Amino acid sequence: MRVDRDGAVRRGRAVDLREAAVDAAAAERAVREGTWVSCLEPGPIHDRVSPVEPGMALSVRAALADAARTRDVAAPQDDALAGVRAELAALDPPAVDCAEARRRVAEAGEREAALAERVSELRGKLTALEERGDDADDARAEREAAVERLAEVRTERIAAEQALSQARDRAREARDARARRLRLEDRAKNLRRDARDHLAASVRDAFAAAVDAVPGRGEVGEAGEFAGDPVTAALAVVRVANVDAPVVLACDRFESAAAAAERLDAPVLRV
């Protein structure tokens, strides 16, 4: 690693930046973005453990699974998971939107009901006029016009219903695809979890040994569960993993950056 900061260049597997008063997050960013730290590309393990600092949150099992990956451990679920992911990538469920068709049906239905009411009103009016012997020609014409409009609107409503029914058939197929996507996503999640458990278990003993080897308190149970300080767990994970990019250390566990790099068997950037 090469650290170019404040006009000074430092090189090596262990760089101490305590004098430079850099905060841990800024150092981690520099490792990631290569701004003033030149080093190998950080991997997923960095997202888990770096920077190592008091109060850090660490998902030990997930970190150990990533650590196992750096040691080229494979999980029996890998092939199935790759298959599921490929299938998911190829799946592109079409849109399911019948809103416009529903709106047309509802509006045509309302117009039809209003017109039907109007037609019966006019019929009543016409009957009354005829019974009284008054001139009913206008009322008759008005009613006929309304009946005609009603027939038109009824046709429109029926067409709208047919369109909606077709849209629903298409939506059903699209939903089948969506249901399939959901099942695949659930399967991918289960496979990922099983793979993670397998990978974490594969380095359980190495992790227990690492917890004993790094400074700090912590215990590893039979099932690989960790009880203790997350900083201890993070350091042990680093020791277990094959780490290429420098891990940012913001904890007082080692005498020097060099001692840390040696104990963790990883490049370190002490801040």
Partner 1 sequence: MLLIVTYSRGARQTLRNVCSTHGETVVRRFGRAALLAETEFGALLALRLREKHGGDVQIEHTEPFNEFAAVPAAVRDAAAAYENRDAQSTPYAKFATGTDHPAPCDLRDSDL
Write out the residues near partner 1 by the rule CB under 8 A: 93, 95-97, 171, 174-175, 178-179, 181-182, 185-186
Distance between CA atoms of residues 45 and 267, nearest Å? 13
The residue among 189, 200, 195, 248 whose CA lies nearest residue 59 is 200
Task: Tell me 2's DSSP state.
Answer: E
Q: How far is the CB of 173 from partner 1 (least distance, A)?
A: 12
Q: Is the preceding peptide bond at 51 cis, omega within 30 degrees of 0?
A: yes
> Minimal distance in Å, beta carbon 115 to partner 1?
25
**What CA–CA distance (Å, rounded) separates 49 from 229?**
13
- Considering only CA atoms, which of 115, 118, 156 is closest in space to residue 139? 118
- The least CB distance from residue 95 to partner 1, in Å, is 6
Closest distance between partner 1 and the C-beta of residue 191, in Å?
A: 15
Shortest distance (Å) from residue 178 CB to partner 1: 4
Q: Which is nearer to partner 1, 29 or 181 (CB)?
A: 181
Which one, 97 or 130, has the nearer CB to partner 1?
A: 97
Pick the closer one to partner 1 by CB: 14 or 188.
188
Task: Name 226's bridge partners.
Answer: 220
Minimum separation from the CB atom of position 97 to partner 1 (A): 6
CB of 177 to partner 1, least distance (A): 9
- Give the single-character DSSP code of 52: B
CB nearer to partner 1: give 21 or 90.
90
C-beta closer to partner 1: residue 93 or 228? 93
Q: Which residue's CB is nearer to partner 1, number 165 or number 242?
A: 165
Token pair for 248: 């940012």
For the chain, how many residues are written?
A: 271
- Give the residue with the Cβ less far from partner 1, 2 or 183: 183
Task: Tell me how far CA of residue 90 lies from CA of 87, 147, 179, 251, in angstroms.
Answer: 5, 54, 15, 46
Q: End-to-end distance of the chain based on CA atoms, in angstroms?
A: 15
Residues 48/62, Cβ–Cβ less than 8 Å: yes
Q: By the 8 A CB rule, do 248 and 17 touch? A: no
